[in-house]
Every structure is written in C-alpha cells, then in structure tokens.
Amino acid sequence: MKRLVLCAIVAGAFAASSVGIGAAAMPTVGGRDGLQLFAARVASYAELHQRLDARVPPAKPSDDVNDVIRRRESLGWLMRAARSNARQGDIFDPVVAVAVRDVIANALNGLDVEGLLVDLYEDCEMPAGYRPLVNGMYPDWAVHEMPVVLLMALPQLPEGIQYRLVDHDLLLWDVDADVIIDVLPDALPTASS
C-alpha cells in the first residue's frame, strides 16, 4: 500500500514539474480536486508566460502589423523553448480530464452536440485528419469562437489564455504567443456516449 501511495505521489510530482508547478500534491479523485489542480497548472503556465513576456521588448505604437507579429513570434519561440518537454496531458492529466469532461457534459446536457459543432465550423475548412499538437501554433483556418454555453461553465482562465475547440478536442491556447498549451482529446461527448 505504501508503495502504491509513493508511486502516486511521484507520478503527481512528475506531471506537475512538466509545467513548472513545483510541489503540487496529487489530488483525490473528484471534480473539485481536478478543477483545483487545473487552476493551479494554468496559473503556473501564466506565471511562466509573464516571466518570458518581460524578456521580449514591449510593443511600441506602430502602424506596422509586422512589429506585432515579430513580438508574438519571439514570445512564442521563448515559450516553446521553455516548454520543450511539454506533452499532451501535462495540464489535462487523467484527474483533470475527468473533471473538465464532467463540466462539459453537464453544460451540454440535452443539447445536440453534433449540430452545435456543424454550426460552429460552418465557416471553417478543417483539413481531414488534423490533430492539434501541444506547443504547436493555433491553426489559421480555425476562425470560430467558443460556444458561450461552454465558456460560462468552464473555469475562468487568466488573461491571454483561451479555450478553443477543434472537432471534439478542447485546447488551451496562449493567444499572445500563439502556443497550444495542452489538448484534451474527445472533450465533447459524442452521440454514442
């Protein structure tokens, strides 16, 4: 039994260290604990973003959009370098994934999820087989917004971090650095679930 507890603590510490959380305790299984762990991990990412953002020269008032693009690219490069070992599930680990999927399922209860997605992606040309990647850039073709019903249900995020959907996957997106922070596959319920 002690070995099992020790393994759980080591696994929790390893997962937490991959996003720079430090000494986060492994939560008990449950929605509130998963959402608290999620909030702590997102806050840790936001702190890293702030530290690295301070290293990039501030944007100056300019009519040249390339200045904004260059700053965004510089910050994105710093974020990717700092998180070079980032992997899917660093934030959305199994405990957090269950909690977030529960929030989403409750918010969408009674709604036609497939119909919602058809409407959401109406103006998008999603490439066949596209899968978002952690530390990748958010796709240019994904011009849709998040459904309000989900934004009202999901935990609030720090400024500059947004939720996005790509197919049934939920993404955390750092808007200012154009970095996909993490991906929760199959976050939305399907007709068969």
Q: Where in the chain are the domains?
A: 2-184
At residue 27, the pLDDT reads: 39
| Strand ranges inside 13-129, DSSP E | none
Confidence of residue 141 (pLDDT cuts 50, 70, 90): confident
Confidence of residue 192 (pLDDT cuts 50, 70, 90): low
Confidence of residue 126 (pLDDT cuts 50, 70, 90): confident
At residue 174, the pLDDT reads: 97
Query: Is the confidence at residue 137, as pLDDT, over 90?
Result: yes
At residue 86, the pLDDT reads: 96
At residue 32, the pLDDT reads: 77
Question: Quick one: tokens of 39?
Answer: 């909030």
Alpha carbons 74 and 81: distance in angstroms, whole number = 11
Whole-prediction pTM value?
0.79
Mean predicted confidence (pLDDT) in 20-49: 74
At residue 157, the pLDDT reads: 97
- Cβ atoms of residues 193 and 106 within 8 Å: no
Q: 143: buried, middle or exposed (CB in 10 Å: 19+, 13-18, 0-12)?
A: exposed
- Cβ atoms of residues 127 and 172 within 8 Å: no
Other CB atoms closer than 10 Å to residue 111's CB: what's the count?
Answer: 12
* Sign (positive or negative) of CA dihedral 135, 140, 127, 107: positive
At residue 7, the pLDDT reads: 37
Mean predicted confidence (pLDDT) in 6-22: 36
